[in-house]
Chain A
Amino acid sequence: NAGVMQNPRHLVRRRGQEARLRCSPMKGHSHVYWYRQLPEEGLKFMVYLQKENIIDESGMPKERFSAEFPKEGPSILRIQQVVRGDSAAYFCASSPPQKDTQYFGPGTRLTVL
């Protein structure tokens, strides 16, 4: 089992561009979580998804951010019209159906110029 995969590991965007972050959960895991880590801060929950469903998006900013977890393929965190304040490390975690321990990916570091 390769573990949770995230790509790209580093992403540079200019203000106003779109950023797409991908997360492939561990095999057999149907639950995906996205977290953001701003500089000098801890991890903050953003969204929890199951296949084709958003279960809890209470941590997502109301505008410009969206997430999906399609039936086939990775989970995508999409940030439209990025701003400098979006620069952060974005971590994905997955867990099996019984929602036990979360396993984390290596993260994507987004830099907005």
Chain B
Amino acid sequence: AQRVTQPEKLLSVFKGAPVELKCNYSYSGSPELFWYVQYSRQRLQLLLRHISRESIKGFTADLNKGETSFHLKKPFAQEEDSAMYYCALRVNNNDMRFGAGTRLTVKP
């Protein structure tokens, strides 16, 4: 079954601390994975995708096929990073499977 799991509904860290949002996937093919972010009262927007191997707003995510994971990391969290984060898996051209989301709170 194609599935995305984000085990943490809530994650709270202090400003300046490292943060890791976990994402595990289940997919038999070659996965295409994304992280989306939704800031308060804003729409869902793409943060990054694994094929780009880019760093956006200091966030990075590495695809680990052995562990079937695509964890999102940032070495020093900022208060403005507080948001809902969704991991997503594209299973075909039409279908994106989203995780349940993790709400990150960065405390001052």
Contact = CB atoms under 8 A, between A and B. Distances in A.
B99 A42 contact: yes
Interface stretch (B13-21, B40-48, B61-69, B73-81): B40-48
A108 B44 CA distance: 13
Interface in A32-78: 33, 35, 40-45, 48, 55-56, 58-59
B102 to A, nearest CB: 10
B98 A42 contact: yes
Contacts of B49: 101
Given A42-B100, A42-B101, A43-B86, A33 B94 contact: yes
Given A101-B46, A104-B43, A107-B43, A56 B98 contact: no
A25 B70 CA distance: 29
Contact of B4 (A4, A42, A101): A42
B98 A44 contact: yes
A54 B96 CA distance: 16
A56 B45 contact: no
Contact of A56 (B4, B36, B42, B95): B95
A33 B95 CA distance: 9
B97 interface: yes
Nearest to B100: A42
A16 interface: no
B93 interface: yes
Given A44-B98, A56-B94, 10 more contacts: A33-B94, A35-B98, A42-B86, A42-B100, A43-B98, A45-B94, A101-B49, A102-B96, A103-B45, A104-B45
Interface of B: 4, 6, 36, 42-46, 49, 86, 88, 93-101
17 contacts: A4-B43, A33-B96, A42-B6, A42-B98, A42-B99, A43-B96, A44-B98, A45-B96, A45-B97, A91-B44, A101-B49, A102-B46, A104-B43, A104-B44, A104-B45, A106-B43, A107-B43
